Amino acid sequence: MPKYMPEEAVKHLERFDLNGRVTSVERYGCGHINDTFMVSVCEEDAQREQRYILQRLSPVAFHEPEKLMENVSRVTAYMKDVVARRGGDPARETLVVVPAKDGGNYILDADGSCWRMYLFIEDTFTCQQAENTDVFRESGRAFGAFQRVLADYPAATLHETIPNFHHTVKRFEALEAAIAGNAAGRADSVREEITFALERKARTSALLDGLEKGELPLRVTHNDTKLNNVLMDARTGKALCVVDLDTVMPGLCAYDFGDAIRFGANTAAEDESDLEKIHFSMEMFRAYCEGYLGEVGDMLTENEIRTLPLGAWMMTYEVGIRFLTDYLNGDVYFHVAYPEHNLVRARNQFALLKDMERNEQAMQAAVAEWLTR
């Protein structure tokens, strides 16, 4: 997808309820889906600067922005109450949607693209890679706490913003269609990666089978638990706020656990091209278990806990085939910085997957410890 430039973004700001003069608009963050900008506004009355996040939702990923924003508004309002009741600071610990002048919570531009704004949460940082176990353990605590807070949320009121988002069998079918369609003429150059993906077909339904048989419950999950979707407090180093709520919908806890592991227990960045640098870190895995299961260990069933390592495998495999699919389709979904970017990401995830497969027993043993606590 082409990236939007600040000059394009700035045009939409006058439709939001901002009290002051816009002084700068810059592209921001490392998300692969939306176009994100940081906006600075010099407030008229007070002589101070207020910053905002402005985002254009990806129309390729999200087809019903109205429903998506309804989810975001409801979930953030719910979390705000919980945080306030606990004596926390709702403006820092949850996302705050900035209203549009027409009273809505987003605007549509002439092309039908959806733009929305949040208050910028100051004095935080995000990590593009887990630098140490403390940071990763903290992110596990944050996603665990997020899931716990939403445990009693009326899940049936949530819209499915991306249908079948973690339906790995359907992701596999999308890969098969991309191979057959060969839209970008790249299929012959990635035969090795295609074979690697196809060889693992039998396992793609393993979590869905558990769901179908009633062995695994649906919960309200985040579904995109990358480390850079947690804002860390720059003053304390502790996790402060979970962001990127576009895919909050019913799901399996193995999705949230697994997606976090595939990103943070990789010894290299998600798009490292030197495969020698890519290893699966059991140390990081254990640290995440401490953070995550420390929050939700008593809430999850034994079956759920036992499927967490499978979740790590599944999410790594799934996003690997999603990157490969997008490469075959000509880079229509994920933002790319160079032509081979999606292929590099797919190879990276497959290298990680191989190392995870070598560590499956160790992962199982690590989660089993939580069953006897």
By beta-carbon proximity to ligand GN1, the closer residue of 9 and 82 is 9
The tokens of 146 are what? 């997020």
Q: Which does 247 bind (CB under 5 to 8 A by kind): ligand ADP, Mg ion, ligand GN1, none?
A: ligand GN1
By beta-carbon proximity to Mg ion, the closer residue of 39 and 300 is 39
Query: Is residue 318 part of the contact set for Mg ion (CB under 5 A)?
Result: no
Among 193, 244, 246, 256, binds Mg ion (CB under 5 A): 244
- The candidate with the shortest Cα–Cα distance to 305, out of 296, 314, 313, is 296
Among 9, 13, 83, 95, binds ligand ADP (CB under 6 A): 95
Please give the residue ranges that form the binding site for ligand GN1 (CB under 6 A): 31-33, 61, 224, 226, 229, 244, 247, 259, 270, 319
Continuous H helices in the chain = 6-10, 65-85, 90-93, 133-149, 168-181, 191-199, 206-212, 253-264, 282-296, 302-306, 308-329, 341-358, 360-368
Q: Which secondary-structure segment (H or E) carries 223?
A: none
Strands 219-221 and 114-119, by their bridges, are unpaired
By beta-carbon proximity to ligand ADP, the closer residue of 31 and 309 is 31
Q: Which does 118 bind (CB under 5 to 8 A by kind): Mg ion, ligand ADP, ligand GN1, none?
A: ligand ADP
Query: Is residue 29 part of the contact set for ligand ADP (CB under 6 A)?
Result: yes
SS3 of 283, please? helix
- Rounded distance between C-alpha atoms, residue 158 and residue 72, angstroms: 9
By beta-carbon proximity to ligand ADP, the closer residue of 116 and 347 is 116
Residues 6+ apart with CB under 8 A from 313: 203, 258, 353, 356, 357, 360
- Name the segment binding ligand ADP (CB under 6 A); options: 76-84, 117-125, 201-209, 284-292: 117-125
CB of 138 to ligand GN1, least distance (A): 18
**DSSP tag of 202:** G
Q: Which does 28 bind (CB under 5 to 8 A by kind): ligand ADP, Mg ion, ligand GN1, none?
A: ligand ADP
- The candidate with the shortest Cα–Cα distance to 357, out of 200, 123, 161, 189, is 200
Among 13, 16, 36, 293, binds ligand ADP (CB under 6 A): 36
Please report, as ranges, the residues that interact with ligand ADP according to CB under 6 A. Answer: 28-29, 31-34, 36, 53, 95, 118, 120-121, 126, 228-229, 231, 243-244, 246
